[in-house]
Amino acid sequence: MNEKDPDLRICIFGAGAVGGHFAARLAAAGQDVSVVARGSQLPAIRENGLTLISGEQVIQASVAASDNPADLGPQDLVISTVKATALPVLADGIAPLLADHTPVIFAQNGIPWWYGMGLSGSECGAPDLGWLDPDATLAGAIGPARTIGGVIFSSNQLVEPGVVHNDSPARNALVVGEIDDRASERITEIRAALTASGIDSPSAPDIRAVLWSKLINNMTASVLCLLTGRKVSDLAADDQLAETLLVLMAEARAVAASLGYDFGPVDREGLRRAAPDHKPSILQDYEAGRAMEIDALVRAPLAFARHAGVATPALDAVAAQAIALADRARAR
């Protein structure tokens, strides 16, 4: 990180719904923000900047934008908000953004490619996850020393190019942590920059525990939303779907418990209170014809279940349907 300049040069790699949200807040708070954007997002951001609508708040911010990272130059921090399916694109293009000191936060859903790094296999309870980074492409392009884990708690949708609607104005956080769980000055500095911009960033002594706290919902509610075409709040309001979701969540919590992460039980009332009125990103991707994060959200969590010998019949059934749906979508 750059200790001479109080403002950080921060590049958001992937200026979709979440990336656009973070970029707008950080830029409005005075950070030197750029974005790697593609498609219709790029000309919209270049012409009109980014607009974030969050409850009563409207934030408009101008940021440098390009589809070529070389145009943006070395950064103090890169935050990757691309989906797991787009990480090979990041690996191919990120080099011009990296100075000697530049860390990279991987803020994505599901089991990340770096999960088995930083700690020994016995410490993190991970099965072989090499297939999440075929040919070690990401490990070679970024490496463990630069890698920072990130977990997003924020519901967003891109309502038009350059305009993000935040569906969770009371809850927007990016939790960050070193992949070996050590305390570090760069984590302190990053958390301070996020907090100053209005993005909560609580301390995380164990970044994998935070990851599993979100993954339990992603691998159950998000996947069930994909299969039903419903919002999370719709699942909680429907008696049969709510009961199905509770079964799925009990199995997912058993997998997490096998790793030492005990999040306790969930009941119908707790489900109803916590359910956002939001379409999960995997459903948004399906409806938009984009690739879905099946490996990170479905296959990888179940690899942990098999590794630990935890029976997950309901999750297995739902996973089979989600994988089949993704296969059909790819064939279209």
Residue range 167-208, pLDDT digits in tens: 999 999 999 999 999 999 999 999 999 999 999 999 999 999
Q: Give the span between the Cα atoms of 100 and 227, in whole angstroms.
A: 44
Q: How far is CA 256 from CA 29, 84, 245, 276, 314, in A?
A: 37, 21, 16, 22, 16
Query: What are the backbone angles phi and psi of residue 152, rounded to the nearest 5°?
Result: -95, 130
The predicted pLDDT at position 332 comes to 78
Q: Is the pTM of this model over 0.75?
A: yes
The predicted pLDDT at position 1 comes to 61
The predicted pLDDT at position 265 comes to 85
The predicted pLDDT at position 4 comes to 42
Contact 230, 243 (CB under 8 A): no
The predicted pLDDT at position 3 comes to 45
Q: Which of 227, 300, 303, 217 is nearest to 253 (CA)?
A: 217
The predicted pLDDT at position 270 comes to 84
- Catalytic (active-site) positions: 214
Which domains are delineated in the chain? 9-205 (3.40.50.720), 210-331 (1.10.1040.10)
Give the chain's residues under pLDDT 50.
2-5
Backbone dihedral region of 124: left (phi > 0), alpha (psi from -120 to 50 degrees) or beta? alpha
